[in-house]
Structure 1
Amino acid sequence: MASSHLRLLVLSCSLFFISLGSTEHNFVVVPTSSFASEPACSTVSHVTSEPRRASMPLVHRHGPCAPTGSYAVKPSLAERLRRDRARRNRIMSKVSGRMSTTLSDASVSIPTALGDAVGTLEYVVTLSIGTPAVEQTMLIDTGSDLSWIQCNPCSSSECYPQKDPLFDPSKSSTYNTISCDSDACKQLIGDHYGAGCTNGASDASLCQYGIKYGSGETTVGLYSTETLTLKQGVTVPDFSFGCGLHQHGEFDKFDGLLGLGGASESLVSQTSHTYGGAFSYCLPPGNGTSGFLTLGAPSNNTGFVFTPMHQFPGVSTFYMVTLTGISVGGKKLDIPPAVFSNGMIIDSGTIITGLPATAYSALRSEFRNAMSAYPLLPPTNNGLDTCYNFAGHSNVTVPKVSLTFNGGATIDLDVPSGVLIDDCLAFVGGNSDNTIGIIGNVNQRTFEVLYDTGRGNVGFRSGAC
């Protein structure tokens, strides 16, 4: 009898620990000390050495790993989120067709329907342009197509202070302007990046580009070609880009922008004959570490999960996926599939993920339940309504948040970097369910996110940086 009771006790304890282990598997204990900003750069190279891919380091523009050159002080969370809302609103305007006509600036017409918010862009890569090659630090953006840098001649009243010396086209043997009657200029105009032609003394007028971003910045200059050096020994000849001569707005010391969108002007499209229209990046978990940007698909898909990619009709810039479910702490949320039917744009430049109203309500409710041990702060005007006071806690237990996509691909967001931002849940809700969502860069941290336009899918590989 005693041995029977003992066996029953052991079995009960075993079941208890199995249950406890299953529960703990869906939660992560995080030291609150890890929420503090990194005091120094602890970069480790994650750049691939695959010969058919071109890979380069990627870092946060306001972190200690940023290239030496004294970037401006990191904006407050409230300011970053204000700019983020401007970007989301502009993206929604572009996909819904609510676009203005033109704005007169620097004596040219600039389409106001283009560009998002430069101020939200947080990750930079260092490339080189020209012959001899001149180093430039550029923001990356999957929500933009046309790449541009500032060029001489450009006075202090027309250009903003930047990290590196201005690129001087007159000192490069491979620089060329693009004429206004060329097919390339006609394509630029057709994609709404054109800004008319120069009226110089020469017989051939030159093609001008112009972009007005969602938060008010404008960049105008000559549409040109040049040799772009991705890394030592890897170049893109005759790369089409904007040579900026008139910049206005709150730009922040970076040297230019690298467009990774889906339209013909982007780096991805211009190198599709070499890299198959594929690229990937890994955004690091914190500002004190590095990630990477890579052109080309990996030689094998080990570690990736894939979901079909599609584009919004008439807007080739954005990459879209279909979300089918969300889980919190291992519990799948009761969200009708129709809520996600409009799709989700996956974007490197948006910070906070925006969900349809019903989906966000379910996520917020379950996340708050799972975090009920910690004081919930009152809502603020920064748009985030699920923020916590972790004072007095040396550790915090955070539930895993999982996203499931069309085709069954499921990813567990990194905890805490992919779930929390400044102790707040890194999601917001839309005003209705009849909206397109946006997967922001916080949720993407530590994943290699592979955009493979040739195969028509998006892949995710966890723990890549």
Structure 2
Amino acid sequence: MASSPLLLCVIFCSYCLVALGGRHERGFVLVPTSSSSASEPACSSVSQVTSDPNRASVPLAHRQGPCAPASVASSGKPSLAERLRRDRARRSHILSKASGRTVTLSGASVSIPTSLGAAVDSLEYVVTLGFGTPAVQQTVLIDTGSDLSWVQCKPCDSTACYPQKDPLFDPTASSTYAPVPCDSNACKALADGGYNDGCTNRTDSSLCQYGIEYGNADTTVGVYSTETLTLKPGVAIRNFSFGCGLRQQGTFDKFDGLLGLGGAPESLVSQTAGTYGGAFSYCLPPGNTTTGFLALGAPSNNTADFLFTPLHSSPEGPTFYVVTMTGISVGGKKLDIPPAVFSRGMIIDSGTVITGLPETAYSALRTAFRSAMSAYPLLPPKEDLDTCYNFTGFSNVTVPTVSLTFDGDVTIDLDAPSGILLDDCLAFVGAGSDDTGIIGNVNQRTFEVLYDSGRGHVGFRPGAC
């Protein structure tokens, strides 16, 4: 009987570890499997950025989950295979653009400039903003890989635009809407960014026309315009430049438009640099049943919880945000990866799902992760994901911690399991060469990721949503 108290202690401690689900124990975390977790059909919580008078924030949600507005709920959630197909196309396009390689697209039925952006149908997170005066709510995708924002506008009809559940934005009903003249400096600046598509053929005046072709050949064309953008009551951005979309063609799905968060002059971030210093952040929630946030501006004084690494621009243009990774650890042990493998940098992207690593780094990560997970049977690959597991019969799984180290000796521990596994697969792939990589949104979950161009760094605050 002397051993009974010890046995009870072991059982109780094991229960506590399972209940907490996120406590590291010598480089491993015990978590419940998805099959043992109760389903949550409703949005369970709302996360917001810490109150700060110098910042403006709005809720952010996954567009396929119950926290998203009903207006963007699609008829059916895409399969994992379809999500990965879209993600592969986006990742390939971004890496091609960032490295200066030629991107070949199929022809489009409208004549617009060179391909810009990436696949819109791969984007997963939305925010709701107010356009015009009075403000009309529009739910838009967020994208750090795009610059020019746009929404569908009247008089667009079903033959020229895709269906959306929200009313189309009506520029004639807004007292603050203004089209940009074709001979203006603003239109000339749009041409410098590669978004200009000439002028409209209106008889009364010639207006500046924008055009975007995304990596999957989706297109949007319309009038370049300015309008009041309301983030929340009392917080508005006047003379916000955006595209009033009159012709959209492709695989668009329910959302009302796109909010560009890249680093080029056309983006929301650059347009509000005078007010918010060229800084913004977001927190992507661990699952689809909770919300995160998107915030403009950097914390005014309290940054003690952030870990900062230098921010670099892509040599091919200012859109992308690049950081330097220096190492990866699995189960608390640093992998033997030569630092030169990461010399081309890693793009941080809100729209890419799966992280694409230089091939040498991914090979080392896969070997270490599979070794640490040897107790669980491997499944055949799921599209690009080649390290997938069968957790049938397991109520809990022991997952090794995965940590990423960046320039400045900054190490972040990815959330387990939401920041490591996607559909029971390791959420990393190899890029096929030791070239530029992309940090996808799965790895970013639960962190507040702060992009601060003014101060030249990116910050990570764990456990923010």
TM > 0.5: yes
Alignment of 1:279-298 (within 5 A): 279-298=280-299
Matches within 5 A, 1:340-355: 340-355=342-357
- Assess, with a 3 A threshold, how the Cα gap between structure 1 residues 216 and 105 changes in structure 2: closer, same or farther: closer
- AA paired with 1:77? L
Cα distance between partner residues in 2 of 1:314 and 1:368: 36
Deviates more, 1:89-98 or 1:123-132: 89-98
Question: 2:441 is matched with which residue?
Answer: 441
For residues 186 and 284 of structure 2, the distance between their equivalents in structure 1, rounded to whole angstroms, comes to 33
2:87 aligns with 84
CA deviations 1:44-77 (Å, max 9, x no partner) are 2324321110011000000011112333311001
- Equivalent pair of 2:97/2:103 in contact (CA under 8 Å): no
Kept in 2, the 8 Å contact 1:72–1:253? The answer is no
Distance 2:402 2:39 in 1: 23
* Mapped partners of 2:426, 2:325: distance in 1: 19
The CA deviation at 1:379 is: 2.2
Alpha-carbon separation, structure 2, partners of 1:32 and 1:119: 29
Is the contact between residue 107 and residue 217 of structure 2 (CA under 8 Å) also seen in structure 1? no
Counterpart of 2:31? 30
CA shift at 1:103, angstroms? 8.4
Aligned match of 1:113: 115
Equivalent position of 1:18 in the other structure = none
3-state SS, counterpart of residue 443 of structure 1: helix
Matched with 1:75 is: 78
Contact 1:281 1:293 in 2 (8 A): yes
User: Are 1:144 and 2:181 matched, yes or no?
Assistant: no
Q: 1:306 to 1:330 in 2, by over 3 A?
A: same
Runs of at least 4 residues off by over 6 Å: 101-104
Find the residue that maps to 2:389 and give its secondary structure. coil
Q: Evaluate the alpha carbon distance shift between residue 452 and residue 282 of structure 1 in structure 2; reply closer, same or farther with a 3 A threshold.
A: same
Partner of 1:176: 178
Cα deviation per residue 1:99-133 (whole Å; 9 max; x = unaligned)?
469987565x3224201011111100010000110
Partner amino acid, structure 1, of 2:449: V
The aligned counterpart of 1:11 is: none
Conservation of the 8 A alpha-carbon contact between 1:447 and 1:464: yes
Q: TM-score w.r.t. structure 2 length? A: 0.92
Query: Aligned with 1:415: secondary structure?
Result: coil
Q: Report the Cα distance in structure 1 between the residues aligned to 2:332 and 2:418, rounded to whole angstroms.
A: 18
Q: Which amino acid aligns with 2:446?
A: T
Task: Kindly state the Cα deviation for residue 37 of structure 1 after the two structures are TM-superposed.
Answer: 5.5
2:67 aligned to which of 65, 69, 80 = 65
Specify every segment of 5 or more residues in structure 2 that has no aligned partner in the other structure, as ranges.
1-22
Aligned match of 1:315 in 317, 341, 350?
317
Q: How many residues align?
A: 440
Question: What is the alpha-carbon distance in structure 1 between the residues aligned to residue 246 and residue 356 of structure 2?
Answer: 35
Quick check: 1:71–1:163 contact (8 Å CA) kept in 2? Answer: no
The residue type equivalent to 1:126 in the other structure is: T
| Alignment partners' CA distance in 2, 1:460 and 1:145 | 23
Equivalent in the alignment of 1:421: 422
One-letter amino acid of the counterpart of residue 439, structure 2? I
Provide the identity percentage. Answer: 73
Partner SS, residue 229 of structure 1 = strand
- Check conservation: 1:126, 1:135, Cα contact below 8 A: yes
Give, as a single letter, the amino acid of the residue that structure 2 aligns with 1:153.
P
Distance across 2 between alignment mates of 1:406 and 1:128:
38
Under a length normalisation based on structure 1, what TM-score does the superposition of the two structures give? 0.92
Two-structure CA RMSD over aligned residues (Å): 1.6
- Aligned residue in 1 for 2:259: 258
Judged with a 3 Å threshold, the aligned counterparts in structure 2 of structure 1 residues 37 and 198 are, in CA distance, closer, same or farther, namely: farther
